Chains A and B, each alone.
Chain A
Amino acid sequence: MVEALTDALNGVEVPGLRVYPDVGPGVSPPGVVLGVPTFQWETPGSEPTSARWPVFLIVPRTDRALRQLWELLLPVTAALDGVVDVVVVTASPSAYPTSGGELPAYEIQIEVSL
């Protein structure tokens, strides 16, 4: 699923948008970071059947950060929602912690059937 999400995000036609498939220490905005998912087991089997995944859309802290977040939000959510069995649930304002301080962000919650 990480590969499918990463492929979809790499297909977003926004110049300079970086995709981070893992929560690493260095993030260069604008970028999208796949967070750590919450898994659910809903059947007797040993494998999880669904996941709720935070995806962070991050932009530089500038005087047009809000405008940039809004410009990027719909292309990013459309790419995520285009993946089979992924539904975008919410996008909430957030602040993403980096070594250089917190950056303006949206935390996008997606739900995934596995």
Chain B
Amino acid sequence: MAAQSRKLKLVDLALDGVSFESQLRQIMLANNTDDGDKMWVADGSELREETDPDYALELTFLADWRADGISQWLWDNDGRTVPWSAALHPDITAEHVVFGGNVYVKAPSVGGEIRTTEQTEVTLQVQGKPDQTRPGA
């Protein structure tokens, strides 16, 4: 079977219904869930203790401090819980997947190295396990 290889090229990203993909440089839905402690039961089989899902949305944007830009939006919405969605490969019907749920908004760190392109990096903690849908299915 030939390898399947794709560029992560088109992503539709929305926070509280506002689209910000035009500034997006990097996106990672990180699964930080603990593995849980290993347990042995009487018949000798191995189990893993259940743990709570722990996901985070790690985002890097080209900074945009205009009034409606992503940097200002994150600053203004610090502390709020808002809906989010990220659609990967929206141009390829058979591979179009959408993740979403709610995130806690956190104001970003500000600044960077002088004479380099300013970026806004933020990690937003996700409530529970994100939903996933396949619109083309």
Can you list 11 A-B contacts with CB-CB less than 8 angstroms, sorted by A residue number? A42-B3, A42-B5, A47-B2, A84-B92, A85-B6, A85-B7, A86-B7, A87-B9, A113-B5, A113-B7, A114-B5
Chain B residues in contact with chain A, CB under 8 A? Answer: 2-3, 5-7, 9, 91-92
Q: How far is the CA of A42 from the CA of B6 in the complex (A)?
A: 12
A49 within 8 A of B: yes
* CB pair A111 B7 closer than 8 Å: yes
Q: Which residues of B contact A49 (CB under 8 A)?
A: 3, 5
Q: How far is the CA of A87 from the CA of B6 in the complex (A)?
A: 11
Query: Which of B3, B7, B9 is the one whose CB lies under 8 Å from A47?
Result: B3
Total A-B contacts with CB atoms under 8 angstroms apart = 24
Tell me how far the C-beta of B136 lies from the nearest C-beta in chain A, rounded to whole angstroms. 14
Q: Which residues of A contact B7 (CB under 8 A)?
A: 85-87, 111, 113
| A113 nearest in chain B by CB position | B5
* CB pair A84 B5 closer than 8 Å: no
Interface string of A41-67 (1 = CB under 8 A from B): 011010101100000000000000000
Dominant SS at the B interface? Answer: loop
Q: Which residues of B contact A87 (CB under 8 A)?
A: 7, 9
Closest 7 CB pairs of A and B: A113-B5, A43-B3, A49-B5, A113-B7, A87-B7, A49-B3, A45-B3
Q: Which residues of B contact A113 (CB under 8 A)?
A: 5-7
**Count, chain A residues at interface, CB 8 A:** 13
Tell me how far the C-beta of A52 lies from the nearest C-beta in chain B, rounded to whole angstroms. 12
| A46 nearest in chain B by CB position | B2
Tell me how far the C-beta of B96 lies from the nearest C-beta in chain A, rounded to whole angstroms. 12
A68-87: which have CB < 8 Å to B?
84-87
Q: How far is the CA of A113 from the CA of B92 in the complex (A)?
A: 14
Tell me how far the C-beta of A42 lies from the nearest C-beta in chain B, rounded to whole angstroms. 8
Q: How far is the CA of A49 from the CA of B6 in the complex (A)?
A: 9
Q: Which residues of A contact B91 (CB under 8 A)?
A: 84
User: For A42, A43, A84, which residue has the most chain B Cβ atoms within 10 angstroms?
Assistant: A84
Tell me how far the C-beta of A90 lies from the nearest C-beta in chain B, rounded to whole angstroms. 15
Q: Which residues of A contact B2 (CB under 8 A)?
A: 45, 47
